[in-house]
Amino acid sequence: MPEEVLTLEGIETGHQTSLLKSDSILASEEVRNNDVQRILSLVKERKTNEAKTLMRGEHWPVTTVRTELWYGLVKLNQNFSKHTVVSMDYYRDTLKELRGDVPELDDDPVSLTFPTFVDPLHVTSYDLNTAGIKTATRIIQVLAYSFPAITYAPGIFPLTCLLLHYMP
């Protein structure tokens, strides 16, 4: 018996996301599909808090729908603070300012040290490969440079690693 394919239109990109229907995608798919459609409509109406509440209240399977929904919410929520930095140019410029134009620093262990606000007891990479861990470390370094008022944030590295798993 061939598996059915469920497609949902992407939140902002307009592309299609396909999910294979199987036993692992909870029993009440009809209800779940209605929830997804409801979340999409809430996001389009810019009711992000309601959409987040609905997403958090469900036991979603690990699928690409989660990535699409969270990514759409993050893109809509870019102006939650005047200090929010979402530009890749800002990231690259700050990283270049911190490390210079020296690509061999990527393998230098000293250049991959954590800022003081990262608690070494909470450094969990959630199975990121070496390149992913380096990327997460660089993101944390840029964050420390950009926001020197941060003095203690033990969960920031694990959270960064989780976001790297789910964000494109």
What digits encode the pLDDT tens for the residues 112-158?
678 888 888 878 888 888 888 888 888 888 888 888 888 888 888 99
Residues 65 and 8 sit within 8 Å (Cβ to Cβ): yes
Residues 122 and 157 sit within 8 Å (Cβ to Cβ): yes
What digits encode the pLDDT tens for the residues 61-80?
666 666 666 666 666 655 55
Residues 100 and 57 sit within 8 Å (Cβ to Cβ): no
